[in-house]
Chains A and B, each alone.
Chain A
C-alpha cells in the first residue's frame, strides 16, 4: 500500500501522524480511504471533485497533472505540496489524463 505523507497543517486531523499507509489504486481512492479514517481531511484537499487549487499531488517526487485520477503503485510515496501559481513556476493543478508521451 502507498505511503501518504500528511502535510503538517493537516496533522491535527490525523492525531499527529506524519505518514500513513493507505490502500487505493488512485489518488482519489486514497483520499477517500484517508477520509474514512480521519474525517475532514478530504474537504481540506478536494473541492468540486478536484484537488483544490493551489495544492498539487506528487507521486514518488513527480507532480502529477492527473490529480485524483492519477494511478498509484503499491510502493508509491504521496505528497501534497503547494501548486505554485503565478506563471513561470506553475505546476499543473488539473489536466486531462494523458500518457507520458503520445506519438502520432
Chain B
C-alpha cells in the first residue's frame, strides 16, 4: 500500500469527464431516446390495493385509431412459481413477472395490469381509459404488524414462512424469519445496570430520484431485442429480462443512458418487459415513460417497519446485551431488506450477547426496492435512539459511550464474521474533536444529537477494458452506470497506475454487448470493484507497453522498468520513453494495444459514519429547523474527495428528509394520497444549512488504494441523530419517523 503522499492523481479533484455534457444539457437520458417509427406506450394500473382480476376486455382500446397493440400479463410467458438464479441473486420468477404485469391478482394500488402502444402518448392514454378490468376487490393490509396477524388478508395463495431452509405449513404474509444470535442475551441483561426497551415505527419512503423510469425497446423480427433506458445495471436488466420474456440472454442488448438518480430504485424491472412485448407485437420501437405519480405508486420505495430494541449496559458504560425484533414491509411481493437491516443494527458495537429476529412481510404496497443502505436507516433509528437513552441514564457523553463500546478489527459482528480493519472508532474520535462538537450550542429549544451507522458494502463483479490511443491517452470502457462521479473515480485509479493525468483517461460507460459483465452500480461497490478492475486492466496495459518498449530497444521485457509515466532500459539508463512515446509507436511494434480485466474482488471494506446535528424546534408548531450538520465518515481512501463529500452530503440530506418529512400517506383503501412532489415533501437547499464533512481515511486493506464504498452509509445515522437532538431541544423522545411537525407537536403537548 503506497502512502497517500505518493499519489499523483488519487486524492485530487479533477473536473468530472461527463461534467460539460451534464451542465449543458447535452447528456442523453432515457427519455431523450428517439428513433424512426417510434410508438408510445402507456400503462394501465390497478386502482385497487388488493383485488383478483376476473377478466380484462381490451377490445374498445384496440379499436381506437392510432392504437397499435394492447398487452396484458397473458402476453408474457407463463411465469413458474420457482426461484431462479440471476448470478447476482435469486428471485422468484412468478413474483418478478407478475410485478411487471399482474397475473391473477393485483397486490398494490398502481400495479400494472395492461399497456397500450399508440402513435402518440395521448392516444395511448385515451385507449387506457377504454380497457375494462373486472376486479373482485379484496380487503388490503397496509401495516406490517397487521399483516403478521393470523386473521390478516393474505396476499398470496402459496406463501408460507421460510426459516433457513424450513417452511411452515400455514399460509402467511410472513415470507421469511431470520435470526442472528451470539452469547446469551438474558444473561447479558441480568449483568446490566441499565436496560432500555423501546418500540419504533418508520413510514414508507421513496428514493425520490428526479428522473422518472423509462424504457425504449426494439424487438427485431430475428428475435434480437434492444433496450435503451436509464438503469443502475444494464447487465442486471438483461439477466432479469431473459427469464421474464422467455428468451436467451444473448438475444438481449441493454444500452444504458445517463441516469437521473437511482439510489437503488433503478435496479428492478418495471417498464422494460412491457416495452419489449409491445414492440414485439407492433414491429416498432416502443418508448414507455412513467410520470411522477407512477414512480411513487408503482416502483419500489424503502419499507415501512416496526422495530423493537432492548439494550443493556453496566454503570461504567459497557454494553452487555442487545436484542432486536425487526419486521419490514416487503410490499406486494417478498424481498424487503430485512437481512441487511439485521446485519447493520448493532454492528458498530462490541456487544457480547446479541439476539436479532427479522421478518420479511408482504403488505399491499408497491414491492420495495433498495434505497441507499437498504434497511439500515430504519435499524439505526431504533438502536441509536436506545443508545442515546442509555447514555442519558448513565450520564455519559454519547460519543464517549460509543468510543467506549466501538467495534474494531477482530470484533465479531452480530451476523458472525469478525470485522477486518475498520475505522469506526476513528469516526467517533473525529466527531469528538470536531469544531462542531466542541462549540457550545445555545438558544431556546435547540438541541444537539449524534448517531452512528454501518453499511457493509459489497464487491460483486466488474469488467474494464482500456484501449491505448496513438496520442498516449487511453479510453477506458466500463459497464458501471455513472452515479455520483464514478467515471472519474474509476478513471483516476487507472490514471494513477498508468502515470497519466485523469483527463488523459476517457471513460466510456458501455452497453451489454460492448464490455464484460458488470453488476449493478449499487451496494457502494463501483469505485471499489470497477476501480479494482480498472487497476488490473491498467497493469495489463503496462505489461504490454513494457513489451513494446523492450521491442523498440531490442531487449527483454524484464529489463524495462516503468515509473512516473516513463519506461527505462535498466541496462542503458539514458534510454527512456514516455508512455506517450511508446503509444505513438504501437503501429510499428505489434499493432493496437488493449488491456482488460475482470474481477470478483474480495476484501470489501465496511463503512462507518458518525453524524452530529444541531436543530431548533418551534414549540408552537413542532417544525424542526436544522441549524448545523456535520457528517464524519471512514472513507477508506478518497479517490476524488469532492465526490466523496458529495455522497456524504447527499446521504445526509436524504436522511434528513426521511427524518422530518417524507412518508407515503395511505387511506384505508390502500391508496396513496400524496403521490406528487408537491405533497411528498423532500428537503431542498432552501431548507438546509451547508452539510459539513469530515473525511476519515482508514484504508481498506482489501483494495490496492484502500478504497471503501462511501455512497450508502451517510444515510444511516441522520434519522436517529435528529431524534436525539429533538429530545435535547424540547425533552420529548421520538419513536416514529418521520418526525413531522404534527407528530412533534403531539409529543410536546403530551409532555405538557
Give the distance in Å from the alpha carbon of A29 to the alpha carbon of B375 in the complex: 34
Whether the pair B417, A92 counts as a contact (CB closer than 8 A) is: no
Proximity bits, B588-610, A CB within 8 Å = 1, else 0 = 00000001111111111000000
A94 — which chain B residues lie within 8 A by C-beta?
85, 87, 90
Contact call A79/B374, Cβ cutoff below 8 A: no
Chain A residues in 8 Å Cβ range of B368 = 86
A100 pairs with B600, CB closer than 8 A = yes
When chains A and B are docked, how far (Å) is the Cα of A99 from the Cα of B536?
A: 13
Contact A101 B520 (CB under 8 A): no
- The answer to whether B418 and A61 touch across the interface, beta carbons within 8 angstroms, is yes
Interface presence of A17 (CB below 8 A): no
Residue B337, interface by CB 8 Å: yes
Contacts of B268 in A (CB 8 A): 86-87
Partner among B375, B415, B533 whose Cβ is within 8 Å of the Cβ of A81: B415
Question: Once the chains bind, are B523 and A90 in contact (CB under 8 Å)?
Answer: yes
Is B721 part of the contact surface with A, judged by Cβ < 8 Å? Answer: no
Q: What is the chain A residue whose CB lies nearest that of B519?
A: A90
Which of chain B's residues have a CB closer than 8 A to the CB of A98? 598, 600
Rounded to whole angstroms, the CA-CA distance of A62 and B600 in the bound complex is 11
Contact of A95 among B87, B267, B417 (CB under 8 A): B87
Answer whether A87 and B267 are a contact pair too, CB < 8 Å, given A55-B164, A101-B536, A102-B599: yes
A68 vs B603: C-alpha distance when bound (angstroms) = 20
Contact B337 A62 (CB under 8 A): no
Partner of A62, one of B340, B597, B599, B604: B604
B91 close to A85 (CB less than 8 A): yes
Determine whether the beta carbon of B601 is less than 8 Å from that of A101. yes
Q: Are B602 and A89 touching (Cβ within 8 A)?
A: no
B residues less than 8 Å from A36 (CB atoms)? none
Give residues 518-555 of B contacting A (CB, 8 Å).
519-520, 522-523, 532-533, 536-537, 539-540
Report whether B458 and A85 are in contact in the complex, using a CB–CB cutoff of 8 Å.
no
B415 touches A85 (CB 8 A): no
In the complex formed, the residue of A with least CB distance to B367 is A86
* Residues 33-77 of chain A, each 1 if its beta carbon lies under 8 Å from chain B, else 0: 000000000011101001011110010111101000000000001
**A100 touches which one: B338, B519, B602 (CB < 8 A)?**
B602
Does B369 sit within 8 A of A, measured CB to CB?
yes
B-chain residues with CB within 8 Å of residue A9 when the two chains form the complex: 163-164, 166, 177-179
Q: Which of B599-631 contact A (CB under 8 A)?
A: 599-604
Do residues B374 and A101 form an inter-chain contact, with CB atoms below 8 A?
no
Q: Which residues of A contact B342 (CB under 8 A)?
A: 82
Least CB distance, A33 to chain B, in whole angstroms: 18
Q: Pick the most buried of A10, A61, A85, A89: most chain B CB atoms within 10 A of its CB.
A: A89
Decide if B417 touches A58 in the complex (CB within 8 Å): yes
**How far, in angstroms, from A25 to B83 measured CA to CA in the complex?**
29
Question: Can you name the residue of chain B whose Cβ is closest to the Cβ of A11?
Answer: B181
Q: Does chain B have a CB within 8 A of A83?
A: yes
A84 touches B337 (CB 8 A): yes
A88-B374, A88-B520, A103-B536 known; A95 vs B600 contact (CB < 8 Å): yes
| Beta-carbon contact of B335 and A88 below 8 Å | no
B37 at the interface (CB under 8 A from A): no
Can you name the residue of chain A whose Cβ is closest to the Cβ of B371?
A88
Using CB atoms, name the residue of chain B closest to A99.
Answer: B600
Query: CB-nearest residue of chain B relative to A90?
Result: B89
Residue pair B461, A95 in contact (C-beta under 8 Å): yes
Whether the Cβ atoms of B520 and A87 lie closer than 8 Å is yes
Write out the residue numbers on chain B whose beta carbons fall within 8 Å of the beta carbon of A8: 179-181
Contact B165 A44 (CB under 8 A): yes
Which parts of B548-606 form the interface with A (CB within 8 Å)? 595-604
Residues of chain B from 432 to 478 with CB closer than 8 A to chain A in the complex: 458, 460-461
Q: Which A residues are CB-close (under 8 A) to B420?
A: 61
Which residue from chain A places its CB closest to the CB of B522 in the assembled complex? A88
Is B264 touching A88 in the complex (CB atoms < 8 A)? yes
The residues of B that contact A44 with a CB separation of less than 8 Å are: 164-166
A35 to B458, CA, bound (A): 30
Distance in Å from the Cβ of A17 to the closest Cβ of chain B? Answer: 13
Tell me whether A43 and B458 are in contact (CB under 8 A).
no
Q: Which residues of A contact B267 (CB under 8 A)?
A: 87-88
User: How far, in Å, is A56 (CB) from chain B's closest CB?
Assistant: 9
Q: Mark B372-390 against chain A: 1 for CB-CB distance below 8 A, else 0.
A: 0011000000000000000
Q: Are B180 and A85 in contact (CB under 8 A)?
A: no
Closest approach, in angstroms, between the C-beta of A53 and any C-beta of chain B?
Answer: 4
B337 touches A102 (CB 8 A): no
Instruction: Tell me which residues across on chain B come within 8 A of A84, comparing CB atoms.
Output: 89, 337, 339-340, 343
Minimal beta-carbon separation of B213 from chain A (angstroms): 14
Residues of A within 8 A of B604 (CB): 62
B356: nearest chain-A partner, CB-CB: A8
Determine the chain A residues whose CB is within 8 A of the CB of B336 once the complex forms: 86
Nearest A residue to B262 via CB reads A88
Contact A81 B343 (CB under 8 A): yes
**Chain A, Cβ-Cβ closest to B263:** A88
Please, which residues of chain B bring their CB within 8 A of the CB of A88? 232, 264, 267, 369-370, 374, 520, 522-523
**Interface-central residue, B165, B342, B374, by most chain A CB under 10 Å:** B165
In the complex, whether B731 has a CB less than 8 A from a CB of chain A is no
Tell whether A93 is near chain B: CB-to-CB under 8 Å: yes
Give B536 Cβ to nearest chain A Cβ, in Å: 5
Given contact pairs A84-B337, A87-B369, A79 touches B416 in the complex (Cβ within 8 A): yes
Q: Does B236 count as interface, using CB distance less than 8 angstroms? A: yes
Contact B179 A7 (CB under 8 A): yes
Are the C-beta atoms of A92 and B176 separated by less than 8 Å? Answer: no
CB neighbours (8 Å) of A81 from chain B are 339, 343, 415-417
Q: Which residues of A contact B519 (CB under 8 A)?
A: 90
The verdict on A93 contacting B85 (CB below 8 Å), with A84-B339, A86-B370, A87-B370 known, is: yes
Ordered nearest first, which 6 A-B pairs have the shortest CB separation?
A88-B370, A82-B339, A44-B165, A53-B90, A90-B89, A87-B267
User: Which residues of B approach A to under 8 Å, CB–CB?
Assistant: 83, 85, 87-91, 162-166, 176-181, 232-233, 236, 264, 267-268, 335-340, 342-343, 368-370, 374-375, 415-420, 458, 460-461, 519-520, 522-523, 532-533, 536-537, 539-540, 595-604
Binding site for B on A (CB under 8 A): 5, 7-10, 43-45, 47, 50, 52-55, 58, 60-63, 65, 77, 79-95, 98-104
A-B contact pairs, 7 of them (CB 8 A): A50-B85, A52-B165, A86-B368, A87-B233, A87-B264, A89-B337, A92-B88
- Further contacts, 8 of them, CB under 8 A, given A61-B420, A77-B417: A45-B165, A53-B85, A54-B90, A83-B339, A86-B368, A88-B520, A90-B523, A101-B536
